[in-house]
Amino acid sequence: MNTVFDRGAIRAFRFVRREFHAKTGEARLVYAFDDGPELIEVVRIPGAPFELDPDRAAAVDRALRLLHLVAGVSYYKAAVPPAIVVEGEPLDAATAALATLVYENGLGEFAYRNGLELRGRIVFPHVGTEPAPAPVLGLAPHALTAVGGGKDSLVSVEALRAAGVAQSAVWIGGSQLIHACAARTGLPLVNITRSLAPELFDYNRHGALNGHIPVTAVNSAILVLAALLRGVDQVVFSNERSASYGSLIEGTGEVNHQWSKGWAFEQAFGAYVAGRIAADLKYYSLLRPFSELAVARQFARTDRYDAHFSSCNRNFHILGARPTSRWCGQCPKCHFVFLALAPFMPKPRLMSIFGRNLLDEPNQAAGFDALIEYRDHKPFECVGEARESRAAFAALSWSPAWREDALVERFAREIRPQLGREELAVEPLLEPVDEHRIPPALWESLRASFAA
């Protein structure tokens, strides 16, 4: 493309067609703006050729339709045109409602940063007929555990292992870091590849709208498809309770960067999968009842992954990682993970993971201030709630090992006196809540393994 991407002239975003090739495991998701070129996203699920009986083939097609709708968000956002057109069979009301929910909320940060109002503007056309409830397919008891290279999914892997749940470590994309973490689990590995339509990058260079998309919703829909193809009954994510809370922006309200990691998404998506795709396919987040601090404490209980994991998002760009080391030490994720692990890990171990002590670097004060919502809002990143960060700081400020470090000392002197002691306790934040979709027997075992 040599000209500008004239998004104002675009009238409609079209869902053109979806294809699945059982011999190769390749799904092709096809979109277009008006009569422009086809934008084709390709996802490949390993394990082909897939032999599917008619019921499973029909469920695979329903899952593919869901993935087509959800993954379209990457392209729709480039122009946000007035109309959405779904070609082929029309959507029913429940499917259209789920797609609208994902687009409106999952593009919340995108809309805020681009000064757009998307609520009420995203209309997926649908008809009034309701499809039959999804059948039971007789899927085998086995979890596809999504691995993201960070601490959360590794906590889930170990919890499922302890509970005796058969599982595979599954990841999407070409990240070597995630591959190394997945290999370190010792589980069977499943690496799914995904290529965005190359035209999108061209559009981005020529003036398309850009910003954050609900990537966990896309990954979830990919794993649902993979579970059906591989004939297994569970898709397990590792989204903690804290993901349900966004950043509070003055004059705007709450904007959640990680909306599709939150409880509202999990409930709607999980219910849709069981109700409309396959009745015995369970989608849930194993860490939903827990805070980031509870997950950090659990992670600290084994050093198996210390030399492999990273939560720093500079490792995870689709056009190639941009890290100088596994931890850049300067981004909100590095700040938060350092702070959250510090109360639960011996200091030398944490410093050897990061290669430095971030809490003794006075020039990083602003980054840590944002985490505790002091003079700034919580960053648009996957970090815990401000009350968790404040409680972690408070715990360190009473610890002989940490209290003399520059930023901890500053917290104790300047910020702690403004906060009530009851706001600063770590213990209440380690208590699980009973809001989750975890199968009951597994929940009992999980609760016991997280208890102190």
How far apart (Å, rounded) are the C-alpha atoms in residues 426 and 422?
9
User: Is residue 134 involved in binding ligand ATP (CB under 6 A)?
Assistant: no
Of residues 94-133, which lie at the interface with ligand LMILMEGD (CB under 6 A)? none
Least distance from ligand ATP to the Cβ atom of residue 17, Å:
26
Enumerate the β-bridge partners of residue 190: 170
Least distance from ligand ATP to the Cβ atom of residue 374, Å:
22
CB burial string 416-445: b at 16+ within 10 A, e below: beebeeeebebeebbebeeebbbeeebbeb
Contact 101, 249 (CB under 8 A): no
User: Is residue 175 involved in binding ligand LMILMEGD (CB under 6 A)?
Assistant: no
Contact 238, 155 (CB under 8 A): yes
Contact 155, 295 (CB under 8 A): yes
Under DSSP, the state recorded for 250 is: T
Q: Which of 59, 80, 118, 146 touches ligand ATP (CB under 6 A)? A: 146
User: Is residue 147 involved in binding ligand ATP (CB under 6 A)?
Assistant: yes
Under DSSP, the state recorded for 389 is: H
The nearer residue to ligand LMILMEGD, 74 or 185, going by C-beta atoms, is: 74
Helix (H) or strand (E) holding 393: helix 386-397
Quote the tokens at residue 70: 């959800």
Binding segment toward ligand LMILMEGD, per CB under 6 A, in 122-130, 251-259, 300-308, 336-344:
251-259
Compose the 202-221 pattern: x for residues touching ligand LMILMEGD by CB under 6 A, - for all others.
--x-----xxxxxxx-x---
Q: Which of 105, 216, 389, 397 touches ligand ATP (CB under 6 A)? A: 216
Least distance from ligand LMILMEGD to the Cβ atom of residue 199, Å:
12
User: 3-state DSSP call for residue 406?
Assistant: helix
Cis peptide leading into residue 131 (ω within 30°): no
The nearer residue to ligand ATP, 68 or 151, going by C-beta atoms, is: 151
Give contact residues for ligand ATP (rule: CB under 6 A). 146-153, 171-173, 178, 216, 219, 237-239, 261, 311, 382
Give contact residues for ligand LMILMEGD (rule: CB under 6 A). 74, 196, 204, 210-216, 218, 257-261, 313, 316-319, 382
